[in-house]
Amino acid sequence: MTKSTSGEALHRDWHQAAQTLSEALPYILRYAGKTVLIKYGGHAMGEDHIAQRFARDIVLIKQVGVKPIVVHGGGPQIGQMLDRLGIKSSFIDGLRVTDSKTVEVVEMVLAGSINKQIVSAINNAGGKAIGLSGKDANLIQARKLQRTTRDPESNIERVLDLGFVGEPTAINPDVLHTISASDLIPVVAPIGIGAAGETYNINADTAAGAIAGAVGAMRLLMLTDVAGVLDENGKVIPHLSRDRALAMIKSGAIAGGMIPKVETCLEALDAGVGGVVILDGRVEHAVLLELFTEHGAGTLIS
Q: Identify the CATH assignment for 32-89+106-133+171-192+202-301 out of 3.40.50.10110, 1.10.3720.10, 3.40.190.10, 3.40.1160.10.
A: 3.40.1160.10
- Residue type at position 264: T
Q: What is the longest distance spanned by two Cα atoms in the chain? A: 82
Domain assignments of the chain as residue spans, ordered by start? 32-89+106-133+171-192+202-301
CA separation, residue 253 to residues 146, 227, 236, 264, 302 (Å): 27, 16, 13, 17, 18
CA separation, residue 247 to residues 214, 229, 251, 255, 261 (Å): 27, 13, 6, 12, 15
Show pLDDT as tens, one digit a residue, over the chain (302 residues). Answer: 555 556 565 556 666 767 767 777 887 888 899 999 999 987 667 678 888 999 999 999 999 999 999 999 988 888 889 989 998 888 776 678 888 899 999 999 999 999 999 999 999 999 999 999 999 999 999 999 887 666 666 666 666 778 899 999 999 999 999 999 999 999 999 999 999 999 999 999 999 999 999 999 999 999 988 888 888 888 888 889 989 999 988 888 888 778 888 989 999 999 999 999 998 888 888 899 889 887 777 889 98
DSSP assignment letter at 138: G
Interatomic CA distance for residues 202 and 199, integer angstroms: 10
Long-range contacts, 6-11 (Cβ 8 Å, 24+): none
Q: At a CB cut-off of 8 Å and minimum separation 6, what does 213 contact?
A: 171, 267, 268, 270, 271, 272, 273
Long-range contacts, 151-158 (Cβ 8 Å, 24+): none
Going 268 to 254 to 288 to 190, the CA torsion angle's sign is positive
